Chain A
Amino acid sequence: MKSLRFILPLLVFVVLLMFLWVGLSLNPREVPSPLVGKPAPAFQLARLDDPAKTLADKDLRGQVWLLNVWASWCTSCMEEHPVLVELSKQGVVPVYGLNYKDERSAAREWLARNGDPYALSMTDADGKVGIDYGVYGVPETYVIDKAGVIRFKQIGPVTPKVLSEHILPLVRRLQAS
């Protein structure tokens, strides 16, 4: 039994290997979609630019909008940021930011530094709204229709490809209906 502890490193390594093996067949940017087709969970949150004011999901009814979950500490957000900034310049669809588990000052600095693509950002400092929305990690992006139903969910950074092939065609269809 005493020699068991010498086998332990090997066992740990075998478990690690199995995970790496499965990991190879996974696409880290693939999209599962548990909340699609369901009404977007309600929220009322303080605004990032002015904590005295709040924004609720009801304020956004009647228009198609994107909810983008972001944080200043998230490196993948850097990756998608130029895509969102470009989108906001086109003015096709408003993007609302959910600033997830972040510090207000850090978040505002981050926006000042990298450009602010958001119509508005809300602070979800303790991540409670994030839990309602089933946020796995940052960044995530939701397409929400006029009736407040989630129509699409992107986990991981929004790439130009996802934007032009999935999000924008969907947004146009939803806006037309």
Chain B
Amino acid sequence: MIPELGHFALIIALCIACVQAVLPLLGAQRGDATWMALARPAAQGQLVFVAVAFTCLAWSFVSNDFSVLNVASNSNSMLPLRYRFAATWGSHEGSLLLWVLMLNLWMTAVSVFSRRLPSEMVARILSVMAMISIGFLLFLLLTSNPFERLLPPAADGRDLNPLLQDPGMVIHPPMLYMGYVGFSVAFAFAIAALIGGQLDATWARWSRPWTTMAWAFLTVGIAMGSGWAYYVLGWGGWWFWDPVENASFMPWLVGTALVHSLAVSEKRGGFKSWTVLLAIVAFSLSLLGTFLVRSGVLTSVHAFATDPRRGIFILAFLALVIGAALALFAWRAPKVGLGGAFAFVSREAALLVNNVLLVVAAAAVLLGTLYPLFLDALGLGKISVGPPYFESVFVPLMAPAVFLMAIAPLARWKQDRPLDLALRLKWAFAVAVASALLLPLTLGRWTPLLALGILLAVWVAGAGFVNLIERALQQRASARVSVGTALRRLPRGYWGMLAAHFGVAVFIVGVTLVRGYEIEKDVRMNPGDTVAAGGYQFRLDGLKQVQGPNYDATRGAISVTRNERPVAMLHPEKRIFTVQQMPMTEAAIDTGLTRDLYVSLGEPLPGGAWVVRVYYKPFVSWIWGGAFLMALGGIIAVTDRRYRLARHDARMPTSAPTTIVQAVS
């Protein structure tokens, strides 16, 4: 009964979405206020029914209803409750339902926090989002019904993929999808603006907080996925350039470009058609990522169930949504005026160059991800593109981007004098060069790449400090207040930018140091053996068999000491999951600010010995710390006072914005 209720709720949601996609949009074209007013209640009603469907599916999982095919294939009565709940989005069908739920959450958020937007704009935005919703609801109902029954019911389920039985997996997909799907808001804003012909600074100001929020979620989602890979896969790696990882990374790169391009559109009225294109591309890449993951055109370690029918459906949907958006862009964008002119040395120029670098980086990742497919489609054979490609294109693209990133916030809009800039930044640069030359030597080994990493990190952080001090002193001088008051008066948007940029510096420190100084030892150990890594002694005290709720495990006890003093007690496990008979490595990690001690069990060897992987990973947690700092910066920026004020300004609809026609004349 409950599954049918869920299925029915999905169908009702689809009907509401159809109404919401058509009537408000027509209303906006004809100036019919009643039709436009339908958008908000429709969006909220749709959320109610999608949420009911989601709850029904979660209930089926939690209550072990193995007469539902999806539950029988992805859960088991022995599975702990929190993973039974997380299994709701552990399957193909469930993750799509989560996708739709997230889309509806964003849609409802738009309907609530848009009181001061012109009603035509709101109507168009919600209609565009409803069209996306229709596509995904149809996809669910036609090809991937999560509520399909299994008759006769299975006695027990086939269990959730052990890789997904992890606390990180409970929260990683919702975060990632919040980001992925969040770009649909920026997309809808862009399409609505193209339709209505209002591409101006006000439009950019409205889009900004939404885009930044989605970007922050995506950042957290990717970081959590990488953290999950770090301790679940047991190889100690944190990024594998796997197609599925790339699928989330491409929208992030373009989204980063979009966040910055929107700043120019808001402050200077420039880059407008470029910003619109980025908004379209960011969401298109989110859709493309969904296609790549769900259709099985690429093989990946994240092998999900694949079905060609689903592939054709998403491809058609992709063609429709992206094709229509780009066609609209080709038709309307040429009439958008250019913003103010700017010189070669100016903040606009720096932001533009970085935008281009980010987009090229995204294109390079896209090329690497799809290259095997291109060759195959052309009949030229099959290949696998590995990390060597990605690393050799990515570092040269990102290094100049990071270098410029430090300068851009200090450069003046429109035009700046190169000499002035150089003088203002001389100390930051000197400190960066000095640390690049000396720091690796004190850490034990100097290589050009290590030096480059440290140079960039210190440079970004140093330029951030210079910027902060300048701003505070300026404020003190102009408003005649103390430095403390001056700091407090700096807008949140500015603090957010600083935090995010510091996050990049922290991230680079993590990547550089772990690359340069990690120590990996794969050793044969008998109980009682000791191995040293990074100044720590790891002693295998013993091994014992333990039983988990749905697995049997061998658990090692490894005591870590440094200079005879105990540091940590680590318990890595090798688990065999009973239903799928799949072995899993559960690494044990002692996390610290400056190093992780990472231990995992490899293979058993004859005579009671084990292959034990002992890793010393300096500063590895800075990788995720940096990512969280970036996301935090985004969230701080969203709370900026001016977005709340902006809504007041926009109360008089359509008076301020310049229309496309005016921009041409």
Q: Which residues of A contact B (CB under 8 A)?
A: 2-3, 6-7, 9-10, 13-14, 16-17, 19-26, 28-30, 32, 71, 73-76, 78-79, 101, 109, 112-113, 115, 136-139, 155-156
Of A14, A22, A109, A137, the residue contacting B384 (CB under 8 A) is A137
Task: Enumerate chain A residues within 8 angstroms of B312, measured Cβ to Cβ.
Answer: 24
By beta carbon, the residue of chain B nearest A82 is: B583
A136 to B385, CA, bound (A): 10
A114 to chain B, nearest CB (A): 8
Whether A14 and B240, one on each chain, are in contact in the complex, defined by CB atoms closer than 8 angstroms, is: no
| Complex interface: chain A residues within 8 A of B374 (CB) | 19
Decide: A20 near B326, CB < 8 A? Known: A6-B333, A71-B386, A76-B299.
Answer: no
Partner of B388, one of A25, A73, A136, A155: A73
Q: Which of A13, A20, A78, A136 contacts B297 (CB 8 A)?
A: A20
State in angstroms the CA–CA spacing of A87 and B512 once bound together: 39
> Given the complex of chains A and B, what is the CA–CA distance between A23 and B375 in angstroms?
10
Q: Binary interface profile of B, 13-43, with partner A (CB < 8 Å = 1, else 0)?
A: 0000000000000000000000000000000
Question: Is there a chain A Cβ closer than 8 Å to B171's Cβ?
Answer: no
A29 and B299 contact, Cβ closer than 8 Å, known pairs A109-B522, A138-B384: yes
B377 located at the interface, meaning its Cβ lies under 8 Å from any Cβ of chain A in the complex: yes
Shortest distance between the CB of A118 and any CB in chain B (Å)? 16
Complex CA gap A24/B330 in Å reads 28
Closest residue to A21 on the B side, CB-wise? B315
Q: What is the minimal beta-carbon distance from B51 to any residue of chain A, in angstroms?
A: 33
Q: Which 7 A-B pairs have the closest CB atoms?
A: A137-B383, A136-B381, A22-B377, A10-B326, A3-B334, A73-B386, A7-B330
Q: Given A75-B242, A136-B381, are A24 and B319 also a contact pair (CB < 8 Å)?
A: no
| Chain B at the A interface: SS class | helix
Taking CB atoms and an 8 Å cut-off, the chain B residues in 254-305 that contact chain A are 273, 277, 280-281, 284, 291, 295-301
- Is B417's CB within 8 Å of the partner chain A? no
Contact A73 B611 (CB under 8 A): no
Q: Is the CB of B377 within 8 A of A23?
A: yes
A-B contact pairs, 22 of them (CB 8 A): A6-B330, A10-B330, A16-B370, A17-B315, A17-B323, A22-B377, A24-B308, A24-B312, A28-B298, A71-B386, A73-B387, A74-B386, A75-B384, A75-B386, A76-B384, A78-B301, A101-B388, A113-B522, A113-B613, A136-B382, A139-B384, A156-B299
Closest to B334 in A: A3
Minimal beta-carbon separation of A98 from chain B (angstroms):
15
Pairwise interchain contact B522-A24, C-beta atoms closer than 8 A = no
Contacts of A14 in B (CB 8 A): 323
Contact with A along B322-338 (1 / 0, CB 8 A): 11001101100110000
Tell me the bound Cα distance from A36 to B602 in angstroms: 37
Q: Is the CB of A9 within 8 A of B370?
A: no
Count CB-based A-B contacts (< 8 Å). Answer: 112
Contact of B603 with A by CB under 8 A: yes
Does the CB pair B602–A20 fall under 8 Å?
A: no
* Given A10-B326, A24-B295, A24-B308: A19 touches B382 (CB 8 Å cut-off): no
Question: What 12 new A-B contacts, CB under 8 Å, besides A113-B522, A138-B384?
Answer: A2-B334, A3-B334, A24-B312, A30-B382, A71-B386, A74-B384, A75-B386, A115-B603, A136-B383, A137-B372, A137-B383, A156-B382
Residues of B bordering A, CB below 8 Å: 235, 240, 242, 273, 277, 280-281, 284, 291, 295-301, 308, 311-312, 315, 318-319, 322-323, 326-327, 329-330, 333-334, 370, 372-377, 381-388, 520, 522, 602-603, 611, 613
Instruction: Identify which of A13, A26, A115 contacts B322 (C-beta below 8 A).
Output: A13
Smallest Cβ-Cβ distance to A17: which chain B residue: B319
CB distance from B24 to the nearest CB of A (A): 26
Q: Which residues of B contact A155 (CB under 8 A)?
A: 381-382
Enumerate chain B residues within 8 angstroms of A74, measured Cβ to Cβ.
384, 386
Contact A9 B318 (CB under 8 A): no
Q: Given the known inter-chain contacts A9-B329, A9-B330, please indicate yes or no for A112 contacting B611, CB distance below 8 A.
A: yes
B315 / chain A contacts, CB cutoff of 8 Å? 17, 20-21, 24
A residues within 8 A CB of B520?
109
Q: Inside 8 A of A112's CB, which chain B residues have their CB?
A: 522, 611
B375: which A residues are within 8 A, CB to CB? 136
Task: Report chain B residues within 8 Å CB of A76.
Answer: 299, 384
Q: Which residues of B contact A156 (CB under 8 A)?
A: 299, 382
CB of A147 to closest CB in B, whole Å: 26
Q: Which residues of B contact A139 (CB under 8 A)?
A: 384
On whether the beta carbons of B384 and A20 are closer than 8 Å, the reply is no
B374: nearest chain-A partner, CB-CB: A19
CB-defined contacts of B384 to chain A, threshold 8 Å: 74-76, 137-139
Query: Which chain A residue lies CB-closest to B376?
Result: A26
The residues of B that contact A28 with a CB separation of less than 8 Å are 296-299, 372-373, 376, 382
User: Shortest Cβ distance from A158 into chain B, in angstroms?
Assistant: 13
Q: In the complex where A17-B318, A28-B298, A32-B381 touch, is A9 in contact with B611 (Cβ < 8 A)?
A: no
